[in-house]
Amino acid sequence: MNALAVMGLALGMRHGVDPDHLAAIDGLTRIRPRATNGIYFALGHVLVVTLLAMGIGHFLATRLAFAGPWSLIVIGSVNLWRLLRGAAAPRIRSRPIVVQPFLLGMLLAAEFETASQLSALILAGQGSAWLLGVTFSFGMVLVDGLDGYLAGSTQRLAAIGQTRARAASRALGLIVVLFAFGLGGAELFGTELTSVALPLGLSLFVIVVGLRIWARSKAPTARDTQISGVEMMQGELADYMNQEQRTFVGESPGIVECAGPLDVIFGVLTQFVRSARFF
């Protein structure tokens, strides 16, 4: 396999776990839940990256660069408002939304030039820009598409009332708000985050995926809880009846050792005759 293709695939997958990608895809999915958000986001992103690699996208990137951090801040603001308001998770629709995630991917590609994106641009000058663009795109679509699918499935479970999914959705909402404001603000104030982009992105990816896996795991349902409660009540009732039987029958060894219902009746009568006073 071509070494440039392998490197392009690796850089695309690496670029897909950048924190701005995860914050944007998760934040948009909490507002407009679609399982395809990650795919269209990645396609819009790779369009700009490919044009930059071919040397014809700088004019477009310079015109769109200012909107990248502001788009993250808007996403963070909407998610914060929904968290404070306690809004329920919107139901996921089967009809995909194309324009919003596609445009969001283009805006972030124009502004957030991370190390993997710059490495891809450098490699493009040493080989086929088209080959690098295709493999880079496939790697990023793979990671961002998976992220978007998992984000959509978590929102779907939260919308139908799954307890763990609702808790995971709230936790992911807080993470989205923190990272959206942090990354957008850092870009606006000119703070360099290239050195921490990889560990930050991987840590965020592990946390996000872990929360989604936990949300999809089976939790005790209301029926299971109801059955457990009935069984506990039955056990308590049996203990109570045994205690009442001992109180009425007494501690006669003959009664305690009896096995059948006739033996129980005979033992009760025997104990009654023994304790009776005849005048």
Tens of pLDDT, residue by residue over 102-112, are 999 988 887 66
Pick from 150, 200, 210, 184: which is nearest to 78 by CA?
Answer: 184
pLDDT at residue 123, rounded to an integer: 62
Q: Are residues 156 and 41 in the same domain?
A: yes
Rounded Cα distance, 277 and 279, in Å: 7
Tell me which of 173, 198, 216 is where a domain ends. Answer: 216
31 token code pair:
């507002």
Rounded Cα distance, 122 and 230, in Å: 68
Cα–Cα–Cα angle for 112, 80, 217, nearest 5°? 90
Residues of the chain under the 70 pLDDT cut: 1, 53, 55, 57, 60-61, 92-94, 111-127, 129, 219-279
pLDDT at residue 97, rounded to an integer: 79
What residue type is 118 in one-letter code? L
Q: Are residues 210 and 244 in the same domain?
A: no
Helices 129-159, 194-216: crossing angle, 10 deg rounding: 40
What residue type is 70 in one-letter code? W
Rounded Cα distance, 173 and 30, in Å: 8
Pick from 19, 63, 52, 48: which is nearest to 122 by CA?
Answer: 52
Tell me which of 193, 216, 239 is where a domain ends. Answer: 216
Q: Are residues 201 and 235 in the same domain?
A: no
Note whether 136 and 120 are within 8 A (CB): yes
Q: Are residues 97 and 182 in the same domain?
A: yes
Q: Are residues 212 and 230 in the same domain?
A: no
pLDDT at residue 118, rounded to an integer: 53
Q: Are residues 133 and 252 in the same domain?
A: no
Q: Are residues 18 and 47 in the same domain?
A: yes
pLDDT at residue 259, rounded to an integer: 46
Q: Are residues 137 and 210 in the same domain?
A: yes
Q: Are residues 123 and 229 in the same domain?
A: no
Tally of domains within the chain: 2
Tens of pLDDT, residues 178-195: 999 999 898 888 887 777
248 token code pair:
């009425």
Q: Are residues 34 and 15 in the same domain?
A: yes
Residue ranges making up the domain that contains 269: 222-275
Q: Are residues 208 and 242 in the same domain?
A: no
pTM exceeds cut of 0.85:
no
Q: Are residues 206 and 118 in the same domain?
A: yes
Dihedrals φ, ψ of 271, to 5°? -65, -35
- Across 118-129, b (16+ Cβ under 10 Å) vs e yields ebbbebbeeebb
pLDDT at residue 113, rounded to an integer: 59
